[in-house]
Amino acid sequence: MSKISIQPVGFACGARVTGIDVSKPLSAADLEAINKAWAKHLVLVFPGQTLDPHSLVGFTRNFGELDDYATQPFNRHPEINEVFVLTNKYTNGKPSKTYNAGQNWHTDLSYTLRPAKGTSVYCMEKPSVGGDTMFANMYMAYDTLSPKMKEFLDGLEAVHDASLIEGLDKRGPEVANEFRRLNPPVVHPAVRVHPDTGRKALYVNERVRTFLGLSEAESRPIVKFLCEHSVQPRFTYRHYWSIGDLVMWDNRCMVHLAVGDYDPSEIRHMIRTSGMGDYYGRYLDPEAAAAQMKSAPAASAAKPAADAKAVAALHD
């Protein structure tokens, strides 16, 4: 009989799941309990787990197809494309290309055609203080808007632009330019209907540049208002990481932020998988996007392989 226990850790979102070892095959009853808890709490914390990249993939495949991170090949696991490394460890005397990842409010991979369905992150090393992750419930963000604002947003589409990733240019021009090349601007609805719950969630974050039909000047204050509105404390949960924590969240109704409030000389090292999105967006300019993605210099084709070799040392 299952011993799984689920305890809420936040009002807006978040629950702690205990009594289960996710490195082992899940029973049908446990999988059903986790899916129900995920739909209700949006963010699930599995403390005290012992995982490696293979077992992380094994667990997260219970929830659907995994993204292979082809749109961001830097710092993938050297053998498992579905595992992405979030770390500030140095390789070959240089900082990781993900040392400052996620430091603005965002939905994972919203700048791609198939934004992540869900994300799972496992903590292997952490700083002595700080390095937390914050989450905000975008159901609540939408539900608390005025009827007129909801009516306005329900008919809007937003342009998500990878260029707006906080700190992207600090990773060096080669990485930043390649990232932009692989991720031309994409269009998604400003409000998404969750395929499982049927609820509407605001789908606007700090990586939105403009709304279709509005100028950037007109869009900018609306984006600013929505971003500030959606991350009010009453909508949020802050996770204080412990080594061995596995945290999974639903990207279709959440935004999150990696808080950069820690000593950068201390290690923050995590591995991540992302569920392949169950919705397709479209390129803002399909012809320009196709040309952009074909424009890489010949040397760039070998770059992900070289990066993988450098990352290999992080998994010893």
Chain centre distance of CA 177: 21
pLDDT digits (tens, 9 = 90+) for 174-223: 888 888 999 999 999 999 999 999 999 999 999 999 999 999 999 999 99
pLDDT digits (tens, 9 = 90+) for 78-114: 889 999 999 998 877 777 778 788 889 999 999 999 9
**CATH code that applies to domain 5-315:** 3.60.130.10
Backbone angles phi, psi at 111, to 5 degrees: -90, 15
Pick the more confident residue, 2 or 91: 91
Picking from 286, 251, 270, 316, the residue whose alpha carbon sits closest to that of residue 107 is 251
Percent of the chain residues past pLDDT 70, beyond the cut: 93
pTM of the model: 0.90
- Looking up tokens 């605001």 gives 202
- 6 has pLDDT over 50: yes
